[in-house]
Amino acid sequence: MAENSTTEELTTRVDDGVLIITINRPDARNAMNKAAAEGIAAALDRLDSEDDLRVAILTGAGGTFCSGMDLKGFLRGESPSVEGRGFGGLTEKKPVKPLIAAVEGYALAGGLELMIACDLVVAHSGAKFGIPEAKRGLAAAAGGLMVLPDLIPHKVAMELALTGDFIDAQRAYDLGLVNRVTDGSVMDAAMELARSITANGPIAVRVSKQIMDESRSWPRDERYTRQAKLLPEVFMSPDAQEGSKAFAEKRKPNWTGK
């Protein structure tokens, strides 16, 4: 894949180690179809395989993040999923490196499920969030019913699922569903967050994310033992030495990712 690429369904570009992935179906409010899902899966594979890429941002063109599954495609028998990866090429298999959702407009149904599969979320103050599948006789099967109750209070998640009603960005922030809310450019705010991550040691970031994700399912009495198996990659790395030297020498670290 070239550094910058554009298809009918998806665009990607690289900005200083940040891979920006844009769902490019604005006329359909970025509703997810098979081609867009496959494009996201390929972009996330690229994120994890290229050492120069440190973080990705997932966003939508035309002022909307994603309005969910393309219902026209659904009626044609098309599935907006990738085998082994889930809805949008993301919900069942997250990338190893950090992924930030930059949300404008609506993150609804599968769009919300894509968002909560990301590690961090930056939202415009006018954004709206919800899982309205029940209003259409469907169910939020790409993580909305299972993951959302892990992220916000159970009764609030239940209300969203059973009523299909939306919440605004401030409510999402208050619930801890969103990291940052901005009145300005959501991409500028997402890039600011991304750069605060790329300033850190790549191995430390990757392993920290891995432990935080995986430890939620570890038996409580095995957590430290399992963590101990992953930490040597961090503490015995040349980057760990470089970080300590840079601190002592009052300079920025020169990370190698090794």
pLDDT tens column, 114-129? 999 999 999 999 999 9
Catalytic residue among 9, 38, 104, 113: 113
pLDDT tens column, 118-163? 999 999 999 999 999 999 899 999 999 999 999 999 999 999 999 9
Could you report how far apart the first and last alpha carbons of the chain are, in Å? 24
> Do residues 187 and 227 both lie within one domain?
no
The closest of 170, 169, 143, 137 to 157, measured between CA atoms, is 143
> Do residues 25 and 104 both lie within one domain?
yes
Query: Is 249 one of the annotated active-site residues of the chain?
Result: no
> Do residues 193 and 210 both lie within one domain?
no
> Do residues 141 and 214 both lie within one domain?
no
Query: Is 133 one of the annotated active-site residues of the chain?
Result: yes
> Do residues 40 and 67 both lie within one domain?
yes
Q: Mean of the pLDDT values across residues 216-235?
A: 96
- Looking up residue 109, the CATH number of its domain turns out to be 3.90.226.10
Confidence of residue 4 (pLDDT cuts 50, 70, 90): confident
Confidence of residue 6 (pLDDT cuts 50, 70, 90): low
> Do residues 156 and 222 both lie within one domain?
no
> Do residues 192 and 208 both lie within one domain?
no
Please tell me the total count of domains within the chain.
2
| pLDDT reported for residue 258 | 85
Please check whether residue 155 lies inside any domain of the structure.
yes
CA distance 133 to 141: 9
| pLDDT reported for residue 1 | 44
Whether the full predicted model's pTM is greater than 0.85, yes or no, is: yes
The closest of 191, 7, 26 to 106, measured between CA atoms, is 26
> Do residues 77 and 64 both lie within one domain?
yes
Please check whether residue 258 lies inside any domain of the structure.
no
109 within 8 A of 150, measured Cβ to Cβ: no
> Do residues 29 and 157 both lie within one domain?
yes
> Do residues 171 and 124 both lie within one domain?
yes
Please check whether residue 146 lies inside any domain of the structure.
yes
Catalytic residue among 83, 104, 133, 222: 133
> Do residues 191 and 235 both lie within one domain?
no
Give me the domain span that covers residue 62: 5-198
Put the strands of the sheet holding 128-130 in their side by side order: 106-108, 128-130, 167-168
> Do residues 174 and 240 both lie within one domain?
no
Please check whether residue 254 lies inside any domain of the structure.
no
pLDDT tens column, 79-89? 899 999 999 99
Q: Which residue has the higher pLDDT, 77 or 35?
A: 35
Q: Mean of the pLDDT values across residues 175-193?
A: 98
